[in-house]
Amino acid sequence: MTTKTRPTASAGRGMLERTLTVPMVGVEWREPNETNGQSDWFTLTGHAAVFESPTTLVKTKRWQITEEIARGAFDAVLAAAPDVHLNVNHDMNLVMARTGVKGAGQLDLSVDDTGLRVHARISPRLSYAQDWAELMRSGIVDQMSFAFRIGAEQMTTTSDADGFETDHFRILEVSDLYDVCVCPQGAYPQTDAVMHARISASGRSVDPEDRHRATDPSESGGADPSSSEPSDPAGDENAAARSRRIRLLRAKAAQLVPIQKEAGS
Protein backbone atom coordinates (compact mmCIF):
# COMPACT_ATOMS: atom_id res chain seq x y z
CA MET A 1 0.00 0.00 0.00
CA THR A 2 1.28 3.47 -0.87
CA THR A 3 0.43 6.70 0.96
CA LYS A 4 0.77 10.37 0.03
CA THR A 5 -0.33 13.28 2.24
CA ARG A 6 -0.63 16.96 1.33
CA PRO A 7 -2.58 20.04 2.51
CA THR A 8 -5.39 21.17 0.25
CA ALA A 9 -5.32 24.55 -1.43
CA SER A 10 -9.07 25.05 -1.09
CA ALA A 11 -9.24 25.56 2.67
CA GLY A 12 -9.65 29.01 4.25
CA ARG A 13 -11.70 31.94 3.04
CA GLY A 14 -12.02 30.48 -0.44
CA MET A 15 -13.48 27.23 0.84
CA LEU A 16 -17.12 26.51 0.19
CA GLU A 17 -19.51 27.34 3.02
CA ARG A 18 -21.32 24.10 3.66
CA THR A 19 -23.27 21.91 6.03
CA LEU A 20 -22.60 18.48 7.48
CA THR A 21 -25.37 16.23 8.80
CA VAL A 22 -24.93 13.31 11.21
CA PRO A 23 -27.23 11.06 13.24
CA MET A 24 -27.67 12.40 16.76
CA VAL A 25 -25.25 10.73 19.16
CA GLY A 26 -26.06 10.51 22.85
CA VAL A 27 -29.15 12.65 22.31
CA GLU A 28 -31.36 13.36 25.30
CA TRP A 29 -34.61 15.34 25.31
CA ARG A 30 -36.10 16.42 28.64
CA GLU A 31 -39.54 17.88 29.19
CA PRO A 32 -40.21 21.04 31.24
CA ASN A 33 -40.19 20.35 35.01
CA GLU A 34 -38.55 16.98 34.41
CA THR A 35 -35.14 17.97 35.77
CA ASN A 36 -35.24 18.41 39.57
CA GLY A 37 -38.83 19.62 39.18
CA GLN A 38 -37.60 23.15 38.44
CA SER A 39 -37.03 23.38 34.68
CA ASP A 40 -39.16 25.77 32.64
CA TRP A 41 -37.86 24.68 29.26
CA PHE A 42 -37.23 21.74 26.99
CA THR A 43 -33.63 20.56 27.29
CA LEU A 44 -31.81 19.13 24.27
CA THR A 45 -28.36 17.56 24.47
CA GLY A 46 -26.49 15.69 21.77
CA HIS A 47 -23.67 15.98 19.25
CA ALA A 48 -23.81 17.91 15.98
CA ALA A 49 -20.44 16.50 14.85
CA VAL A 50 -18.52 13.31 15.65
CA PHE A 51 -14.72 13.15 15.60
CA GLU A 52 -12.69 10.56 13.69
CA SER A 53 -15.74 9.12 11.92
CA PRO A 54 -14.91 8.72 8.20
CA THR A 55 -17.76 9.14 5.74
CA THR A 56 -17.65 8.10 2.09
CA LEU A 57 -18.61 11.01 -0.17
CA VAL A 58 -18.25 9.30 -3.53
CA LYS A 59 -17.05 5.87 -4.68
CA THR A 60 -16.24 4.48 -8.11
CA LYS A 61 -14.73 1.19 -9.28
CA ARG A 62 -11.17 2.53 -9.06
CA TRP A 63 -11.24 5.20 -6.33
CA GLN A 64 -13.23 6.80 -3.54
CA ILE A 65 -13.28 10.04 -1.55
CA THR A 66 -13.81 10.02 2.22
CA GLU A 67 -13.86 12.72 4.88
CA GLU A 68 -13.63 13.06 8.66
CA ILE A 69 -13.32 15.74 11.33
CA ALA A 70 -10.16 15.69 13.44
CA ARG A 71 -10.11 16.16 17.20
CA GLY A 72 -9.35 19.77 17.95
CA ALA A 73 -11.03 21.06 14.78
CA PHE A 74 -13.45 23.21 16.81
CA ASP A 75 -11.03 24.46 19.48
CA ALA A 76 -10.12 27.78 17.87
CA VAL A 77 -13.60 28.72 16.66
CA LEU A 78 -15.21 27.96 20.04
CA ALA A 79 -12.48 29.91 21.85
CA ALA A 80 -13.58 32.96 19.83
CA ALA A 81 -17.10 32.72 21.36
CA PRO A 82 -18.98 32.67 18.03
CA ASP A 83 -22.58 33.84 17.72
CA VAL A 84 -24.33 30.56 16.86
CA HIS A 85 -28.03 29.73 16.69
CA LEU A 86 -29.86 26.45 17.13
CA ASN A 87 -32.65 26.25 14.58
CA VAL A 88 -34.72 23.85 12.55
CA ASN A 89 -33.23 22.61 9.29
CA HIS A 90 -30.94 25.68 8.93
CA ASP A 91 -33.99 27.95 8.81
CA MET A 92 -33.33 31.14 10.79
CA ASN A 93 -37.07 31.80 10.90
CA LEU A 94 -37.30 28.80 13.23
CA VAL A 95 -34.59 29.70 15.73
CA MET A 96 -34.83 28.04 19.16
CA ALA A 97 -31.66 28.99 21.05
CA ARG A 98 -28.54 31.14 20.79
CA THR A 99 -25.09 31.29 22.35
CA GLY A 100 -24.69 34.10 24.87
CA VAL A 101 -28.30 33.84 26.13
CA LYS A 102 -29.12 32.67 29.67
CA GLY A 103 -32.17 30.69 30.72
CA ALA A 104 -34.78 29.83 28.09
CA GLY A 105 -33.13 30.13 24.70
CA GLN A 106 -29.64 29.32 26.01
CA LEU A 107 -27.27 27.41 23.71
CA ASP A 108 -23.99 25.98 25.00
CA LEU A 109 -21.44 24.44 22.63
CA SER A 110 -18.46 22.46 23.85
CA VAL A 111 -16.09 19.68 22.82
CA ASP A 112 -15.82 16.27 24.47
CA ASP A 113 -14.33 12.90 23.48
CA THR A 114 -17.19 12.27 21.04
CA GLY A 115 -17.34 15.56 19.14
CA LEU A 116 -19.16 18.90 19.13
CA ARG A 117 -21.62 18.76 22.04
CA VAL A 118 -24.83 20.77 21.99
CA HIS A 119 -26.80 21.69 25.12
CA ALA A 120 -29.86 23.87 24.58
CA ARG A 121 -32.72 25.18 26.72
CA ILE A 122 -35.76 25.69 24.49
CA SER A 123 -38.87 27.62 25.50
CA PRO A 124 -42.03 25.45 25.41
CA ARG A 125 -43.94 28.58 24.45
CA LEU A 126 -42.53 28.35 20.93
CA SER A 127 -45.22 26.58 18.91
CA TYR A 128 -42.76 25.06 16.43
CA ALA A 129 -40.56 23.86 19.30
CA GLN A 130 -43.53 21.84 20.58
CA ASP A 131 -44.00 20.33 17.11
CA TRP A 132 -40.34 19.35 16.81
CA ALA A 133 -40.30 18.05 20.37
CA GLU A 134 -43.01 15.56 19.37
CA LEU A 135 -41.07 14.55 16.23
CA MET A 136 -37.92 13.96 18.28
CA ARG A 137 -39.73 12.04 21.01
CA SER A 138 -41.17 9.70 18.38
CA GLY A 139 -37.81 9.23 16.64
CA ILE A 140 -39.02 10.69 13.34
CA VAL A 141 -36.35 13.38 13.62
CA ASP A 142 -33.02 12.07 14.88
CA GLN A 143 -30.37 14.09 13.05
CA MET A 144 -28.29 17.18 13.71
CA SER A 145 -26.35 19.38 11.31
CA PHE A 146 -24.07 22.40 11.43
CA ALA A 147 -23.16 25.08 8.89
CA PHE A 148 -19.46 25.91 8.77
CA ARG A 149 -16.38 26.86 6.79
CA ILE A 150 -13.16 24.82 6.71
CA GLY A 151 -10.05 26.65 7.90
CA ALA A 152 -7.45 23.92 7.40
CA GLU A 153 -7.46 20.36 6.14
CA GLN A 154 -5.21 17.78 4.55
CA MET A 155 -5.71 15.04 1.98
CA THR A 156 -4.10 11.62 2.17
CA THR A 157 -4.14 9.30 -0.83
CA THR A 158 -3.66 5.59 -0.25
CA SER A 159 -3.52 2.78 -2.78
CA ASP A 160 -4.08 -0.88 -1.96
CA ALA A 161 -2.51 -3.93 -3.59
CA ASP A 162 -5.19 -3.96 -6.29
CA GLY A 163 -4.58 -0.33 -7.20
CA PHE A 164 -7.81 0.97 -5.62
CA GLU A 165 -7.18 4.51 -4.35
CA THR A 166 -8.73 6.43 -1.47
CA ASP A 167 -8.49 10.21 -1.18
CA HIS A 168 -9.18 10.93 2.48
CA PHE A 169 -9.88 14.54 3.54
CA ARG A 170 -9.22 15.29 7.20
CA ILE A 171 -10.74 18.55 8.45
CA LEU A 172 -8.17 19.97 10.87
CA GLU A 173 -9.82 23.30 11.68
CA VAL A 174 -13.29 24.81 11.39
CA SER A 175 -12.71 28.54 10.88
CA ASP A 176 -16.34 29.70 11.01
CA LEU A 177 -19.38 28.15 12.69
CA TYR A 178 -22.73 29.62 11.66
CA ASP A 179 -25.47 27.45 13.17
CA VAL A 180 -26.44 24.03 14.48
CA CYS A 181 -29.82 22.50 13.78
CA VAL A 182 -32.13 19.53 14.16
CA CYS A 183 -33.21 18.06 10.85
CA PRO A 184 -35.00 15.04 9.38
CA GLN A 185 -32.46 14.13 6.68
CA GLY A 186 -30.00 11.45 7.70
CA ALA A 187 -27.53 11.27 4.85
CA TYR A 188 -24.29 13.20 4.63
CA PRO A 189 -25.23 16.08 2.30
CA GLN A 190 -23.84 15.16 -1.11
CA THR A 191 -24.64 18.41 -2.91
CA ASP A 192 -23.15 18.99 -6.35
CA ALA A 193 -21.09 21.93 -5.11
CA VAL A 194 -19.47 19.90 -2.30
CA MET A 195 -18.89 16.85 -4.46
CA HIS A 196 -17.26 18.75 -7.29
CA ALA A 197 -15.13 20.79 -4.88
CA ARG A 198 -13.82 17.59 -3.34
CA ILE A 199 -13.25 15.87 -6.68
CA SER A 200 -11.46 18.93 -8.03
CA ALA A 201 -9.24 19.20 -4.94
CA SER A 202 -8.27 15.54 -5.27
CA GLY A 203 -7.31 16.08 -8.93
CA ARG A 204 -9.74 13.53 -10.30
CA SER A 205 -12.10 13.70 -13.25
CA VAL A 206 -15.80 14.43 -12.71
CA ASP A 207 -16.72 12.84 -16.03
CA PRO A 208 -18.57 9.55 -15.33
CA GLU A 209 -16.88 8.07 -18.42
CA ASP A 210 -13.41 9.13 -17.29
CA ARG A 211 -12.93 8.17 -13.63
CA HIS A 212 -9.16 7.74 -13.81
CA ARG A 213 -6.61 9.68 -11.80
CA ALA A 214 -6.16 13.17 -13.26
CA THR A 215 -2.93 15.11 -13.39
CA ASP A 216 -1.75 16.38 -10.01
CA PRO A 217 -2.81 20.08 -9.86
CA SER A 218 0.60 20.98 -8.42
CA GLU A 219 2.25 19.66 -11.57
CA SER A 220 -0.03 21.50 -13.95
CA GLY A 221 0.09 24.90 -12.29
CA GLY A 222 -3.08 24.26 -10.28
CA ALA A 223 -6.36 23.27 -11.84
CA ASP A 224 -9.12 25.87 -11.80
CA PRO A 225 -12.04 24.32 -9.86
CA SER A 226 -14.43 26.05 -12.24
CA SER A 227 -13.09 23.86 -15.04
CA SER A 228 -14.69 20.88 -13.29
CA GLU A 229 -18.12 22.41 -12.80
CA PRO A 230 -20.98 20.10 -13.78
CA SER A 231 -22.57 20.63 -17.16
CA ASP A 232 -26.01 19.55 -15.95
CA PRO A 233 -28.16 22.70 -15.59
CA ALA A 234 -30.25 21.09 -12.86
CA GLY A 235 -27.08 20.30 -10.89
CA ASP A 236 -25.85 23.87 -11.26
CA GLU A 237 -29.20 25.18 -10.04
CA ASN A 238 -29.17 22.94 -6.95
CA ALA A 239 -25.63 23.95 -6.05
CA ALA A 240 -26.46 27.64 -6.46
CA ALA A 241 -29.57 27.25 -4.30
CA ARG A 242 -27.53 25.68 -1.51
CA SER A 243 -24.98 28.52 -1.66
CA ARG A 244 -27.73 31.15 -1.56
CA ARG A 245 -29.34 29.41 1.42
CA ILE A 246 -26.14 29.61 3.48
CA ARG A 247 -25.67 33.29 2.60
CA LEU A 248 -29.27 34.05 3.62
CA LEU A 249 -28.73 32.20 6.89
CA ARG A 250 -25.89 34.52 7.82
CA ALA A 251 -27.83 37.63 6.76
CA LYS A 252 -30.88 36.63 8.81
CA ALA A 253 -28.72 35.91 11.86
CA ALA A 254 -27.41 39.48 11.76
CA GLN A 255 -30.97 40.85 11.68
CA LEU A 256 -32.39 38.85 14.60
CA VAL A 257 -33.40 40.69 17.76
CA PRO A 258 -31.47 39.07 20.64
CA ILE A 259 -33.55 36.98 23.03
CA GLN A 260 -34.11 38.85 26.31
CA LYS A 261 -31.82 37.57 29.03
CA GLU A 262 -33.29 36.72 32.40
CA ALA A 263 -32.84 39.20 35.21
CA GLY A 264 -29.92 38.39 37.45
CA SER A 265 -28.29 36.03 34.92
Q: Which amino acid is at 249?
A: L
How much is the pLDDT for 219? 37
Count structural domains, the chain.
1
Asked if residue 84 lies in contact with residue 179, where contact means CB atoms within 8 angstroms, the answer is: yes
Most confident of 3-12, 181-190, 195-204, 244-253: 195-204
Q: What percent of the chain has pLDDT over 70?
A: 59
The stretches of the chain forming alpha helices (DSSP H) are 75-79, 127-137, 192-202, 233-255
How much is the pLDDT for 225? 36
pLDDT digits (tens, 9 = 90+) for 42-57: 888 888 888 999 988 8
Strands 143-159 and 165-183: antiparallel
Cα–Cα distance, 99 to 84 (Å, whole number): 6
Tell me how far CA of residue 169 lies from CA of 10, 41, 106, in angstroms.
12, 39, 33
Q: Which residue has the higher pLDDT, 26 or 29?
A: 29
**Does 132 map to a domain?**
yes
- Angle 133-92-118 (CA atoms, 0-180°, nearest 5)? 55
How much is the pLDDT for 119? 94
**Does 192 map to a domain?**
yes
How much is the pLDDT for 244? 60
Q: How confident is the model at residue 177 (pLDDT cuts 50, 70, 90)?
A: very high
How much is the pLDDT for 30? 75
Q: Which amino acid is at 210?
A: D
**Does 15 map to a domain?**
yes
How much is the pLDDT for 141? 82
Q: How confident is the model at residue 133 (pLDDT cuts 50, 70, 90)?
A: confident
In the predicted structure, residue 262 carries a pLDDT above the cut 50: no
**Does 143 map to a domain?**
yes
Range of the domain at 63: 2-255
pLDDT digits (tens, 9 = 90+) for 210-255: 444 433 333 333 333 333 344 444 545 555 655 666 566 555 545 5
pLDDT digits (tens, 9 = 90+) for 103-127: 999 999 999 999 999 999 999 889 9
**Cα torsion angle, 224, 62, 3, 195, sign:** positive
**Does 264 map to a domain?**
no
How much is the pLDDT for 238? 55
Strands 28-30 and 165-183: unpaired
pLDDT digits (tens, 9 = 90+) for 150-173: 999 999 999 999 999 999 999 999
**Does 100 map to a domain?**
yes
What predicted TM-score, i.e. pTM, was given to this entire model? 0.68
Q: How confident is the model at residue 80 (pLDDT cuts 50, 70, 90)?
A: very high
**Does 265 map to a domain?**
no
How much is the pLDDT for 199? 75
**Does 115 map to a domain?**
yes
Decide: helix, strand or coil at residue 246: helix
Count of beta carbons in the 10 Å neighbourhood of residue 265: 8
pLDDT digits (tens, 9 = 90+) for 198-213: 777 777 765 544 444 4
What is the residue-averaged pLDDT of the chain? 74
Smallest CA-to-CA distance from 29 within 184, 179, 182 is with 182
Q: Which phi and psi (to 5°) does residue 99 adopt?
A: -65, 145
